[in-house]
Structure 1
Amino acid sequence: TLADDSGLEVDYLAGEPGVYSARFGESGWNDRQRYEYLLHKLKNVPSDLRQAKFRSVVALCDPSTGKIELAEGAVAGLIGVEPKGSHGFGYDPIFYLPEFQKTMAELSDEQKNQLSHRGRAIRAMIPRLNQVLKES
């Protein structure tokens, strides 16, 4: 069995919203309301304290033994002060990548795929998945 979970972790907020990223704030809120709420929580926080990361963890469970193996992928950035870009979803418009001088929502699909925290987690799990396939 293979499963994953992902979230946005903001250092200043002790890792919030984390795995609750999709449920951050009030029930029924859309992506924009969630990132606006996050921006509000960071309103007076200086840019040097706005570090964040998208993190994804993939779990592989062997049902015959119950053994669980984990692989992780992350991409580090900062929470911007205002949304920029329209190419993406979730927190992409406020997740700023200093090395690109853009938010995730301003990147091309190709750039986003290269950076993907989920992609990094899956790529880290591939050697173990290959081993499982050879054994079966």
Structure 2
Amino acid sequence: MKKLCFATNNSHKVEEVQAVLGNRFELSTLKQIGCNEELPETGNTLEANSLQKASYLFDNYQVNCFADDTGLEVTALNGEPGVYSARYAGEQRSHSDNINLLLKNLSGKTDRSAQFRTVITLIIDGKVEQFEGVVKGEIIETLRGNEGFGYDPIFIPEGFDRTFAEMSMEEKGKISHRGRAFEKLVQFLNQQ
């Protein structure tokens, strides 16, 4: 079993990823390796942020690791909130504030298309690889569902009539942007 540090303390993310990875890997969180500081995220792209976080861990804790950054990219808002998805409505990082601001900014717009995009940076023995996962869909006007987190209650993936927040974690994991990116990560790791 391979040991990897996942650059997060977000229990939702760890649960989602562990569901995709199964028991093929032993994941540790930031706290479990003794990292209690905030990881740097000053890039203006998802790629830059995930690389910055993984590099920080590898350089400072000498662990094989991966970091992800995810954004919701809304067509009618020129790709916003994008890299700023978690703090779209401010540094308090409130899911409900972010959703309310997004819906306000989309008010009156007919194009509701959007995509969730995840970029994962893996660093093993100093070698860097990046993997991308995308799921296209649309933003609805009313929140639906109690599962998931973030923008899940207002995002319906293409080919479905339910929001991510109306799906079980397993169901979402099979089609989600994070799930798709992690599948690429797992395929890569299995070839090592």
For the criterion TM > 0.5, the same-fold answer is: yes
Q: Taking structure 1 as reference, are residues 62 and 87 closer, same or farther at Cα in structure 2, changes over 3 Å only? A: closer
**Larger relative contact order, structure 1 or 2 (CA cutoff 8 Å, min sep 6):** 1
**Which 4+ runs in 1 deviate beyond 4 A?**
none
Unaligned runs of 5+ in 2: 1-64
Scaled by the length of structure 2, the TM-score of the pair is 0.61
Q: Deviations over 1:56-111 (max 9, x none)?
A: 111123554xx432111111110111111122211011112352211111112231
Deviates more, 1:8-17 or 1:67-76: 67-76
Specify the alignment match of 2:81 in structure 1: 17
Identity across the alignment (%): 45
Map 1:1-136 onto structure 2 (within 5 A): 1-46=65-110, 49-64=111-126, 67-132=127-192
Give the letter aligned to residue 149 of structure 2.
Answer: F
SS of 1:37's equivalent? helix
Unaligned runs of 5+ in 1: none
In 1, Cα distance between equivalents of 2:155 and 2:76: 14
Scaled by the length of structure 1, the TM-score of the pair is 0.84
Q: Taking structure 1 as reference, are residues 108 and 126 closer, same or farther at Cα in structure 2, changes over 3 Å only? A: closer
Q: Deviations over 1:23-80 (max 9, x none)?
A: 111232511111010000000001xx1111111111123554xx43211111111011
Question: How far 1:116 sits from its partner (Å)?
Answer: 2.0
